[in-house]
Amino acid sequence: MGSVKDLEVIEKPTRDRMGVGRFHFSDRYSVFDWGEMPDQIEGKGAALCLMGSYCFERLEERGIKTHYRGLVDSRGRTVRFDELGQPTKIMEISLVNVYRPKAYIEGGKLKYDYSVYTPNLTNYLIPLEIIYRNSLPEGSSVFKRLERGLVTLKDLGLDHVPKPGEKLAKPIFDVSTKLEEGDRYITWEEAQKIAGLTGEEIKAIKALLSRVNETITEIAQKSSLVNEDGKIELAFDPERQLMVVDVVGTLDECRFTYQGVHVSKEIARVYYRRTEWYRAVEEAKHMAAEKGIKDWKSLCSIGPPKLDPQLKTIIGEMYMAAANALTNRKLFDVPSLAETVSKYREHIGEKL
């Protein structure tokens, strides 16, 4: 079970052959690496499933290999997006092996052994999250990392200190760990080393990221959404060919805006950044890194509060309205995206 979706294994992958599985998208959500939060957001699971399916099929039309096999309809059939009669929360996928790096303590610091990953390994999940940034909206992690000296302007390919909301002349390509206790931003050099990649494969990954970014941006533009940033996950198939895995183009994988308003999981992040719980999370993560403790959540003094009920309803409608807009199909009986964004604007105006 993941924090927001469950995996059903139908056929396990072997060392040199992919298996078959199904994602069951839930209405759970997660922010700040916490895992399952105390609320569920109605309609979220089906909305993510359908957005992801639509985007996977657009990628495949452009010759981009993915692990997507289709959607599972109410009769248990595996179908293409256009064949679907009503929303579903189930997506069928090809499965690869997942090799987790081994955690250990050295000099009081938590470290990970990635020696399992070599240039000869095939049919596995690459242990990285690959990130593109077309702009730097308020709340982007880039600002915090620059402030703390964790990244330099040169690392990001910037020649000036960016401002919140700045549109970038060309996308920033970023990378973080995927299978550690908490995601950790790293350099491309470290990414190549820990994931057992060659220099040519790093170039191929960046080229693939660029094509995915362009495709999602075009899809978003048709529904008046702006693709501010997003992430993808990749795997090698049995022939060590790159393919896009997990899910792409959703409100959880991308930071979309509509007329300057966040239309993504960022709305929940904004809400929680104002809570004592968020400050406790930041403190716990910092303390865990300093003391070499793997389970940072054990150091967190309090748990997350529930969402404001009205905001929770708005977020659910936003997921479903965005799915309608992005796929250009009325799959969910909810107000339009424009109406939902207007409702959200009124809500934060009342609360601020």
Convert the pLDDT of each residue in 241-258 to its tens digit.
999 999 999 999 999 999
Q: How far apart are CA 129 and CA 133, in angstroms?
A: 13
Residue 6, pLDDT > 50, answer yes
Per-residue confidence (pLDDT) for residue 349, from 0 to 100: 85
Strand partners, 9: 21
The rounded distance, in Å, linking the Cα atoms of 18 and 39 is: 35
256-311, pLDDT tens digit by residue? 999 989 898 889 999 999 999 999 999 999 898 888 888 899 999 899 999 999 99
Supply the pLDDT for residue 352.
Answer: 44
How many CB atoms neighbour CB 344 within 10 A?
21
Q: In this structure, what token pair is assigned to residue 343?
A: 């409702």
One-letter amino acid for residue 101 of the chain: P
Q: What is the pLDDT of residue 2?
A: 65
**According to the CATH classification, is domain 99-351 in 3.40.50.300?**
no
Helices then strands, counting H and E runs in the chain, come out as 9, 14
Token pair, residue 236, equals: 């090698």
* Direct distance between the N- and C-terminal alpha carbons of the chain, in angstroms, rounded to an integer: 37
| Dihedral over Cα of 67, 118, 171, 149: its sign | positive
The token pair that represents 205 in the structure block: 């990954």
User: Is the pLDDT reported for residue 24 higher than 60?
Assistant: yes
CA pseudo-torsion sign 215, 216, 217, 223: positive
Where is 214: in which H helix or E strand?
A: helix 199-221
- The structural domains of the chain, with segments of one domain joined by +, span 99-351
Q: Does position 21 have pLDDT exceeding 50, yes or no?
A: yes
Nearest to 315 by CA among 273, 254, 259, 252: 252
pLDDT of residue 183: 85
- The pLDDT of residue 351: 52
Q: What percent of the chain has pLDDT over 70?
A: 99
Q: What is the average per-residue pLDDT within 156-173?
A: 90
CB of 294 closer than 8 Å to CB of 288: yes
Going by pLDDT thresholds of 50, 70 and 90, the confidence category of residue 1 is low
